């Protein structure tokens, strides 16, 4: 008889975000199937100075971490504001989605999303200048992410 009526608050932990990896090798359906069983989270809006150690301390509160892969600038090979966290258990990753997504790390509100699984090459920023794409278009000044975006910074430098 269980499941007749859903009394629990909606569980958003398994709800997939809108993001799909455009370079995923496979169909959209295959990617979505992986996302529904994944134990890996993408973590966004990190400061460039957030370390693997800090990320580990926060995300280990949701369960045992298998590995963390810090996102890095494609050219400079320095952190550029995102990472992947892989858990041993799916339920631990779900608890991280429920409890850590939208809270703070290094005083910044971070965002987690399901990821189909880390593959070599995905740790690099895909922006034109080597960082994340979002930083190419960011219009605000963010001291944790290099200040202005590259175009604005270049223009400002030209004004000096």
Partner 1 sequence: MIHLPHIDHDRRRRAGDEDNDWYYKRRRTVPEKTEAEVHLEFLISRIGEKSGSSMESNLENLAQSLETYLITDIDRIIDIIIECVCYLTEEVTAYSTLVGLLNSKKQKFGSELLHQLLEVLQKKLISADFIHALHIVTFLADLVNCHVVSSSSLVEFFESFMEAACEECIPQVRSDWFVYAVLHSLPWAGPELNDREKEPLDNLLEGVDKYMLERNTSHAKLLQVWSAMEHEQEEYLDSLWTQISKLRDDGWVERHISRYYIAFDGSLAGAVTHNLPLFSPPPHTSVMVYPLPTVVFRFFDYADCPDGGPVLPGAHSVERFLIEEELCSIIENNCYNRKECAAQLVSYRKKTMVPINYMILETIFSQLLRLPHSPLRPLFYGSLMIELCKMKNMPQVIAQAAELFYQRIDTMQLECIDRLIDWFSYHLSNFEYRWSWIDWDDCLDLNDYAPKRYFVKEVIEKCMRFSYHERICDCLPSSFEEITPEKPSISFLVNQEEQSVKKLVAEVERAFHNKTEPKKLTELLRGFNQKDSGLTTLSIFFAVMLNAAQKSFSHNFAALARYHETLKELSDINDESSMALLRTLYNVWKHNRQMMVVLITKMLRMTLVSANAAVFWLLSNVDQELHRLFLASLNFWLWEALFIVIKYACGHANRCKKKFQQMQEKRVRMDRNDGEAYQNFCCNEEENSLGVVLDDDIEEKRKELEELQEMLKNLFLNVLHKLVVFLSEHLVKYETAGRNYDTYWYRYMMGRFKEILLRYWHELFEMKKDIDKELFVTAGIDPRILEVYCQFTALRA
Query: Interface residues with partner 1 (CB under 8 A)?
Result: 1-5, 7-13, 33, 36-37, 51-54, 56-58, 61-62, 64, 67-70, 89-91, 95, 98-100, 103-107
Of 6 and 22, which CB lies nearer to partner 1 in the complex structure?
Answer: 6
Q: Which is nearer to partner 1, 29 or 139 (CB)?
A: 29
CA gap 15, 36 in Å, rounded? 8
Least distance (Å) between residue 53 CB and partner 1: 6
Nearer to partner 1, 108 or 126 (CB): 108
The whole-angstrom separation of Cα 112 and Cα 41 is 6
Say how far apart CA 85 and CA 42 lie, in whole Å: 7
- Spatial CB neighbours of 144, under 8 Å, sequence gap ≥ 6: 47, 48, 49, 81, 106, 108
Question: Smallest distance, Å, CB 146 to partner 1?
Answer: 19
Token pair for residue 110? 């971070």
């Amino acid at each position: 008889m269980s499941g007749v009526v859903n009394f629990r608050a909606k569980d958003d932990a398994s709800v997939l975000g809108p993001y799909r990896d455009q370079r995923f090798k496979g169909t959209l359906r295959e990617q979505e199937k992986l996302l529904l069983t994944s134990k890996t989270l993408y973590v966004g809006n990190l400061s460039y100075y957030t370390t693997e150690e800090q990320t580990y301390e926060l995300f280990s509160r949701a369960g045992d971490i298998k590995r963390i892969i810090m996102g890095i600038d494609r050219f400079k090979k320095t952190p550029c504001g995102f990472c992947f966290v892989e858990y041993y258990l799916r339920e631990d990753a779900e608890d991280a989605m429920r409890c850590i997504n939208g809270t703070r790390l290094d005083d910044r509100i971070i965002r987690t999303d399901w990821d189909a699984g880390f593959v070599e090459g995905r740790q690099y920023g895909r922006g034109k200048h080597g960082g994340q794409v979002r930083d190419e278009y960011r219009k605000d000044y963010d001291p944790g992410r290099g200040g202005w975006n590259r175009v604005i910074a270049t223009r400002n430098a030209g004004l000096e």
